[in-house]
Amino acid sequence: MLCCLYFIHDGEFMNLLSIEHLTKSYTERMLFADAEFYLQEGEKVGIIGINGAGKSTLLKIMAGQEEPDDGTVVTANHAVIAYLPQHPVFAAELSALECVLAGHDAGQEDMTDLETRAKTMMTKLGITNFEQKAEELSGGQRKRLALVSVLLKEADILILDEPTNHLDNEMADWLEEQLKGMRKALVMVTHDRYFLDSVCGRIAEVDQGKIYSYQANYSGFLELKAQRADMLLAKERKRQSILRTELAWVQRGARARSTKQKARLERYEELKNRQAPVADGRVELGSVSSRLGRTTVEVSHLEKAYGDRKLISDFSYIFLKNDRVGFIGQNGCGKTTLMKLLTGQLAPDAGEIIVGQTVKIGYYAQEVTQMDPKQRVIDYIRDVAEYVQTAEGSVSASQMLERFLFEGSAQYSQIGRLSGGEKRRLNLLRVLMGAPNVFILDEPTNDLDIITLTVLEDYLDHFEGIVIIVSHDRYFLDRCVQRIFAFEGDGRLRQYEGGYSDYALRKSMEAEEKEQQSGVNVRVAADDGKGAEKKADWKKPPRRLKFTYMEQKEYETIEGDIAALEEKISGLEAEILEAATDFVKLNRLTEEKEEASALLEEKMDRWMFLEDKAARIAAGEYEQET
């Protein structure tokens, strides 16, 4: 039931939206059972929960797009809601600008201003062809147009379903600042944990048909969630202790049936029938991979262009065993194209990619295109393998599905009945069932819930193979990669050591140095016409410490050099053991090992020097006068 009125919550803030006794089921699954939610003026709330828990359904109910089976949804009188669906649809014949302005009511002057603001936002989100027809746009472009349309609305409540999907890092930063600066109330579903941390002041978790609110950002939620779990476990331990005491009394038998004894029997029955706390559904991943030989994936002088547009220019890199590499860049820069080149789905214009004989690539693509909606869940997995070897032994497809929270009858349901996030989770399992030793993940955080992401991150920690990630999710990159390649225009890729935060710090330092250098040049130019005496008195301002060009290049590659030397020494040691009786070969291998060890020691000394200098640069130190 939907209704509208004004009312005050706790005598202080006005409630803009309130949901009470919400009950909602989808097919045979109960999504909500007597759940409650409220939203106050100016609040920014993040909705989280496992895929299929009902997060998108909850947003649709708030936006009036779906009706609850039971319960009430109360919206403040005259409160305007702007809703961003997960998969927006536009009429095919509309232009990009018309898609954004559709549904906006304004006078002639206001409409001109609205168009200007719309074009500015569209440009920020990478859409510059305002006349392009909707039918020609990708799903990501349509999502960004819908986002601009929602942000432009004079609404009291913004309801956003996965607003950060299909945004690159710069776009996500821009949206973050937009939402933080708005006074409107906000409810959103997102799996971007840094985004949740920065924007939201309250987290609402959908779990087992209920909605639990935590008055904190994402970091605070983790702490409060752990406290709630501890309290529930303590409460259950106490219940079990009392139950054991009561059970012993019941088993002794009562000599007389007094009122007191009847009450004690009733208490025992009540304790026995009370439901224990239900553990959260949690994806379990056993380590699944194949042996990786000496030759892995070697990229040499790779080139790829579409027409006049160069996407990849002279890219070379040798992926090392257990490498953890992230690729970042603006939408459309060529990240997915590079992944398709690595997997052999596309051919390069020039250069070559050498793939070792033992390499088994698992590609978790950005778009899932091979799912038959009528196929059963278990058959989709059995198409790859009936059994897979894990650290725990042989595990069947059915058992792996259970680990991925597809239990019992759910394994025999049709794929078409799954939510978008559940399909992504199922596709992730299908890739892992192939036991890859090179695992490529293209935008894995789109549509995967936070719980699945945390387990995937833990899985990648123990994965014995190469991990290659394309992602805009800063948290996921910080958690999973040790080296980043950034697309920096004209197809050029630049290497950065560390995770996303390390990359962002380096870029910030470079921008600051460039700005300071620009200021020095302006001051010098202003002094040029003031005479030799003035120039003689001018003192050069102190310069911030920075790497030379050669030091910068060396710093970017030295960790890879060290890893390559360590691998070479390890290989030589293995060969030395095999050549124990071949003294000529043994002599040569020993000399090679000594040379490699001496070079490794030099590299380690040099690495320590560069790391120390990098730390001093990060601390903002200045060059010492000579």
Cβ proximity of 460 and 324 under 8 Å: yes
pLDDT digits (tens, 9 = 90+) for 126-168: 999 999 999 998 888 999 999 999 999 989 999 999 999 888 8
> What length is written for the chain?
626
Cβ proximity of 13 and 85 under 8 Å: no
pLDDT at site 5: 39
What is the enclosing helix (H) or strand (E) of 193? Answer: helix 193-199
DSSP string of 418-487? S-HHHHHHHHHHHHHHT--SEEEEESTTSS--HHHHHHHHHHHHH--SEEEEE---HHHHHHH-SEEEEE
Q: Who's near 518: CB < 8 A, 6+ residues apart?
A: none
Name the β-bridge partners of 17: 39, 75
Strand, coil or helix: 387: strand
Backbone φ and ψ for 561, nearest 5 degrees, come out as -60, -45
Residue bearing tokens 């973050």: 176
Q: End-to-end alpha-carbon separation of the chain, Å?
A: 79
pLDDT digits (tens, 9 = 90+) for 510-552: 888 888 877 666 565 555 555 444 434 434 455 567 777 678 7
Amino acid in the structure at residue 469:
I
pLDDT at site 9: 44
CA distance 333 to 315: 14
| Segment-wise mean pLDDT, segments of 10 residues, the chain, 626 residues | 43 80 86 94 93 91 94 92 93 93 74 91 93 90 94 94 89 93 94 91 92 91 79 72 67 54 59 56 61 86 92 94 92 92 94 93 83 91 84 82 83 87 87 90 86 84 90 91 92 92 88 77 57 42 67 83 86 81 80 87 84 75 60
CA distance 474 to 478: 6
Does the pTM surpass 0.85? The reply is no
Name the β-bridge partners of 514: none
Q: Who's near 580: CB < 8 A, 6+ residues apart?
A: 586
Cβ proximity of 32 and 24 under 8 Å: yes
DSSP string of 480-532? H-SEEEEE-STT-EEEEES-HHHHHHHHHHHHHHHHHHHHHHHHHHHHTTS-H
Buried b / exposed e across 215-239, counting CB within 10 Å, b at 16+?
ebbbebbbebbeeeeeeeeeeeeee
pLDDT at site 246: 64
Q: Who's near 263: CB < 8 A, 6+ residues apart?
A: none
The dihedral through the CA atoms of 574, 579, 583, 584 has a sign that is negative
Residue bearing tokens 């009786």: 581
pLDDT at site 243: 67
Nearest to 312 by CA among 470, 494, 492, 496: 492
DSSP string of 363-374? EE-SS-----TT
